[in-house]
Structures are given as C-alpha cells and as structure tokens.
Amino acid sequence: MEAIRGTRGLVTGAALAVAGGLLLFASSVPRLPGNVMSLVETFLPWLGLAVPVGLVVAVVRRSAVAAVASLVVAAVWLVVFRAALPPSSAPGARGAEDMTVVQHNVSDENTSPSRVARILLGPDPDVVALEELTESSLPAYRIALGRTHPHHATVGTVGLWSKYPLTDVARVDIKPREVGDGWDRGLRAVVNGPHGKVATFVAHLPSVRVRATEGYATEWRDESAGRLGRALASERAAAVLVLGDLNGTAADRGLDPVMDQVRGSRGEFAFSWPADVPLARIDHVLARGATVTTTWTLPATGSDHLPVAARVRF
C-alpha cells in the first residue's frame, strides 16, 4: 500500500484554512464588493460542512494535510458554536421573573390565521409580534389572538398582541429613502406587565436578494437597520425588546446598528428561514435591560418562516 504523502491535499488544506479563518475572524474582514461578507456571515455555521468534505478528500487522496486541517477546523467550529450544542428545541422551566415572547412573519399569502394563532399560542406567550399582516387577514388574527391577548396595536403590516395593557403606541420610521409612501413596518409600544414598563419594538426590515449585477443586495435592509438602530439608541426606557423579521442573522454586519443596541440568545441556532429547510435565524427576539435566555422555533404555520419563541428574564 502506498504511504500517505504529506504534500497531498494542499489545496484542500488551504481551503480548510480559509474556512477556519472565517469562522474565527469573519467580522474582522473588510467589506468586500457585492457584500460578500454579509452573505458569508449569514450562513457562517454552515462552514462546518467543510470538515466532512475535507475528511473525504483525506481518505480518497490519503492526505495527512487534509486530515489534520479537517480536524483543526472541526475544533474551531466547536469552539465558536459550542454554546449551541446540543441543539435546544424547548425551553427550561419558566421562572417568575421571565416573560415568554413569540415572533413570527406570518406571510401575506397565508390562508389560515386561526391555525397560525393556535401554533403561536402553544407556549403561552405574554406577547406576540407579527409581520406581513394584510387588511384581509388582520380581522381574523384579532379574533384568534384577542381571546387571550386582548391588548393589541398595529401599524401598517406589523402588529403586537399582549396579555398586558399597551400604551404609547407609535409608528417607527424605518423606511428606506427610495421606498414609496405607505410602507409602514415599524411600531413601538410600551407593555405594562408584571416586570414593569417594557418598550417593545416590532420591525420588519426589507428583504435581501442575490443578484448577478449587484451581488448580495442589502442596501435597503442596511439603511432600514440604521434607522431602527438610531431609534433604539434614543430609547430611554430601562427595558427594551425588539421583535421582528430583520432579514439577517445576528452575525451579519449589516445589522450592526441594531445589534450594537440589543442582544439575543446565542445558545441555540433556532434557524427560522426558510421554513421547509431552515438555514438561518433571521427572525429575532432581542433585548436591552433584560436577558434573552433561550430561543427556539415552533412548528410550521404555512409561512415561509418558522415562528420563533424566546424566554426573556428581567
């Protein structure tokens, strides 16, 4: 049998070194044309797939270089994402200081609001935030959620339902400059619950697209994130929640203006999109003056997003 040659698999080893470097230092890479790094950061955990590929090459090519590089990248991946292992599908026991929150982009094409509501109410949430509400679906959601959450507010296509009274409801302007009038996807309301006053924002940032001429087109999303970030920076409430479809992961640098103000749970992947084969968590529960202790997804509702539930500790 031919001996393993240490020089075999150098190309594979170099590719694995790049994957490992990105896992550790993606946020330090300068912005590149086409917003390539935002795309990489969106799917960062999936760089771990380089490990089995590298091991296959190591076996086929009998390459020590590929084998060692694969093991190193595996170790790096475990260090970076160790908090998310093993994956959590359900929360721990709820304490008296906790609030349960559900966030969901229901899809403007969803035809069964009553079924959606049953799923969202499963974890007995204190508040429910929805995006992509339509004029035709809103009355059904008001009925289905209003039995347990009688306090609600809507602005444009986003809404908030609460077990506790809502005050100071206002529109939050997160509209990109180039978008026409009538685009309302942000609201703020104060939830007056057992933990005191909680300024709660519901937001739906613009979608992103991969285009041949532009690369990863995030300009509208990034501009909207900047507007939301400024609104959060000026918020003076002691406790703040941000619930919404932000069309990006927490690691995506385009959401830095928001993530500089609030934090979510990093302890679970809780991938929420696309619903059929979830690859990324772009639906978020974030907090300031409180801690998001755990995040998990709920069953599919017919939307292209999975609902996200979270436990918030005050």
pLDDT tens digit sequence for 80-133: 998 776 655 566 667 767 999 999 999 999 989 999 999 999 999 999 999 999
Q: Does any domain span residue 303?
A: yes
Same domain membership, residue 130 and residue 59: no
Shared domain for 110 and 194, answered yes or no, is yes
pLDDT score for 34: 87
Q: In angstroms, rounded to a whole number, what is the distance separating the alpha carbons of residues 175 and 22?
A: 32
What is the band of 1 on the pLDDT scale with cuts at 50, 70, 90?
Answer: very low
- Structural domains of the chain, count: 2
Q: Which candidate, 218, 282, 293, 209, places its Cα nearest to that of 250?
A: 282
Which of 84, 116, 140 finishes a domain?
Answer: 84
If DSSP codes are grouped into helix, strand and coil, which group holds residue 5? strand
The crossing angle, in degrees rounded to 10, of helices 138-146 and 113-120 is 40
Through-space distance between the first and last CA atoms of the chain, rounded to whole angstroms: 64
Q: Do 272 and 205 share a structural domain?
A: yes
Same-domain pairing of 63 and 202 = no
Domain that holds residue 172: 98-313
Neighbouring residues of 226: CB distance < 8 A, sequence distance ≥ 6? 257
Kindly report, residue by residue over 181-223, the tens digit of the pLDDT: 999 999 999 999 999 999 999 999 999 988 877 789 999 999 9
Task: For 13-53, write each residue's pLDDT tens digit.
Answer: 999 999 999 999 999 999 888 889 999 999 999 999 999 99
Residue 5 lies in a domain: no
Does 32 share its domain with 107? no
210 and 291 assigned to the same domain: yes
- Say how many CA atoms lie within 13 Å of 56 toward its Cβ: 5
Q: How far is CA 45 from CA 37, 40, 51, 81, 304, in A?
A: 14, 9, 12, 8, 21
Give yes or no: residues 57 and 193 share one domain: no
Rounded CA-CA distance 162/131 in Å is 15
